[in-house]
Structure 1
Amino acid sequence: MRGSRVSYVFPIYNETGNIDLLYRTVDEVVRGLPYEIELIFVNDGSRDDSLAKLRALAADDPRVKVLDFARNYGHQIAVTAGLDASTGDAVIIMDSDLQDPPRVSIDLLAKWEEGWDVVYAQRRSRKDTPFKKATAAAFYKGLRYMSEVDIPANTGDFRLLDRRVVDELSKYKERDRFLRGMVSFIGFDQTAVQFDRDERHSGESGYPLGKMITFATDGIMGFSTFPLKIISRIGFVAAAFSVVGIVYVLVMKLFVPQVVVAGWAFIVLSILLMGGLQLIMLGILGGYVGRIYRQVQQRPLYALRDERPSPVALVTPIAAAASAPQATSVAPVGTPASADDRTAATQ
């Protein structure tokens, strides 16, 4: 085997209706696997009782580790925190709404054992609304055309990463994160596993239209300068239309002045057109400048309110036997972290 330990990472945001079934399903899937299992749940500022359910799981199952964000930071940051906290030789990222079938992780592990470093789950079919399917198809087609990195179509964050890839990914500190693009950018040996995506079991999507647009923008601006190139092309096209307009006005003024009417409407429309184009261009430039501004601030990606693994969650059987005399020094599950611990967790 390539390793003895596998970590699962689950971002959680208002998933109270999914947590119990998710845990049971994953438990059934991993029960027969020849690995030590680590289950990392990242509570991304949930406003329901998701955190209480996660802490109950951690109290009952030593494989469960719970990270509690100080506020909502977003899906990509939650996945990043889970990767940072993982200790497995392989890490599997999976959504918590059961649209990513846990059983597919067995296929991901099989490919990993064959020697692949990244195994991404590629959707063969998906049970979504026609609007969701259409926008997703348009996004991946546009991203593939504009991106400077080959990002596989019909893939999300559901994938397996070898420890080498996870360690390499930890060096990437950009704030506007698009993880599937970052993984493609890193390289290593990558392959796909086809699967059929299920319906969401419970709750509402964490990606409404506004967040979908923001996410798509992160993907495009993070891996392409194509929007900047469009600006100059639009400028040349607008200049060409202006030259045509000038020639038209001069010809009419010189040869058929009797039909020329005071062109205030034409002037106003021209000003509005050019003004609109300029605002669009400034918006594109502003998007890139904003990303630079957020990056140079060098703020931490996230802050943890609490980090509560089970006391043996990160200890292998061999290590546990070696450290048995000191077992009484480990704080029990549920013991509040000290101020120093909480401070260290946020760094």
Structure 2
Amino acid sequence: MVVPLYNEVEVIEEFHRRLVAVMDATGRRWEVVYVDDGSRDGSAALLQALQQRAPNAAVVSLSRNFGKEAAMTAGLDHAQATDAVMVIDIDLQDPPEVIPDLIAGWQRGFDVVYAQRRSRAGEGWLKKATAHGFYRVMARIGGPVQLPPDVGDFRLMSRRAVDALLRLRERHRFMKGLFAWVGFPSLAVPYDRAARAAGRTKWNYARLLDLSIEGITSFTTVPLRMATWLGLVTALIALAYGARVVLMALFYGDPVPGYPSLMTVVLLLGSVQLMTLGVIGEYLGRIFNEAKQRPLYIVSEHRPSGLSDAPA
């Protein structure tokens, strides 16, 4: 089990209690890797105390907040399971009680078994609508990488799927897309997403917008192609308008220049140019960050579980 977290001191104990109850009932050997992504609220101290009394728990502490995508990668890097690895959020919106259904799908021979949301309790209509729209946009422009709709990070992956995923070391990470990119036989398990058990979400609309841009620019060049087509259409419109102005001047004269139309054309062309430059800048910034080859994360401390020397 890989569990990334940031400032989740209110839910750690309850999550671990429910996780232990579910996993012990499966009768399988298991380990949970908690990845503390630079928490500042006491989560680190609580995880240390929990790890001392829980033989199945390992803790990976990052040197600062690197973001959930990097924290998930750190957990996958430190997961020692030889059979399967599961990713789940700690806020209990993804109920641990769904885990047996994911394991059952994996036992049927599927390499990836992902939990697909039927409903989303505790979320407003705006967040539901924007999430719905994002998944549908990605389905249209994703090309060969088809992002399953209404699917988060909650999933089980076979060891070979995890090993394939860990070969992808790009700095701008959109894990939902990377999960889909590696392929392998997959199965969806529907479930009802619960409301957050405690605390506040770390994903405000600004961060969700950043994640959406990350996902779109990481897996498709459609925005660049759209900018090209927009420039072509604008050029054709400008050419047609210019021809009209010339013909009107030749046949009817031009005693008074049209200030409103001139301003409209200038503003239109300027906005198209700036928007196109912005799209190019998004891709150029990602090339710049990839070229620096910085590590995805830095571990300040790794406390392995009591099972670290035994096959998982």
TM-score bracket for this pair, using the shorter chain length: over 0.9
Residues 1:208 and 2:204 are matched in the alignment: yes
Counterpart check, 1:196 vs 2:189: no
Work out whether residues 174 and 214 of structure 2, in 8 Å CA contact, stay in contact via their aligned partners in 1: yes
Residue deviations 1:7-36, cap 9 Å, x none? x11111110111111011111111111211
Matched, 1:217 2:213: yes
Q: 2:230 aligns with which of 220, 230, 234?
A: 234
User: 1:286-325 maps to which residues of 2 (within 5 A)?
Assistant: 286-310=281-305, 312-316=306-310
TM-score under structure 1 length normalisation:
0.86
Gapped runs of 5+ residues in structure 2?
none
Q: Relative contact order, CA 8 A, sep 6+: which one is greater? A: 2
Q: Is the 8 A contact 2:142 2:220 kept in 1?
A: yes
What is the one-letter code of the residue matched to 1:10?
V
Mapped pair 1:105 → 2:110: no
What does residue 63 of structure 1 align with? 56
What is the deviation of 1:181?
1.1
Structure 1 residue 263 corresponds to structure 2 residue 263: no
After TM superposition, the runs of 4+ consecutive aligned structure 1 residues lying more than 3 A away are: none
CA distance in 2 between counterparts of 1:227 and 1:21 reads: 43
The equivalent of 1:115 in structure 2 is 109
1:187 aligns with 2:187: no
Task: Name the structure 2 match of 1:330.
Answer: none
State the match for 2:26 in structure 1: 33
Q: 1:163: how far off?
A: 0.5
- Partner of 2:174 in structure 1? 178
> 1:85 corresponds to which residue?
78
Q: Is structure 2 residue 6 aligned with structure 1 residue 10?
A: no
Change (3 A) 1:32 1:315: farther
SS at match of 2:25: coil
Residue aligned with 1:119, SS: strand
Partners of 2:18 and 2:96 within 8 A in 1: yes
2:207 and 2:276 map into 1 onto residues whose CA distance is 22
Q: Report % sequence identity.
A: 40
Among residues 19, 43, 51, which one is paired with 2:44 in the alignment?
51
- 1:202 alignment partner AA: A
Q: Max radius of gyration: which structure?
A: 1
Is residue 113–residue 156 contact of structure 2 (8 Å, CA) maintained in 1?
yes
Contact 2:138 2:146 (8 Å CA) reproduced: no
Q: Is the partner of 2:65 in helix, strand or coil?
A: coil
TM-score, structure 2 normalization: 0.96
Q: How many angstroms does 1:247 deviate by?
A: 2.4
Shift of 1:292: 0.9
Is 2:10 aligned against 1:23?
A: no
Following superposition, the deviation at residue 251 of structure 1 comes to 3.0
> Match for residue 154 of structure 1?
150
Report SS of the residue matched to 2:66.
coil
How big is each residue's C-alpha offset from its partner over 1:309-329, in whole Å with a ceiling of 9 and x where there is no partner?
24x23133xx7xxxxxxxxxx
The number of aligned residues is: 308
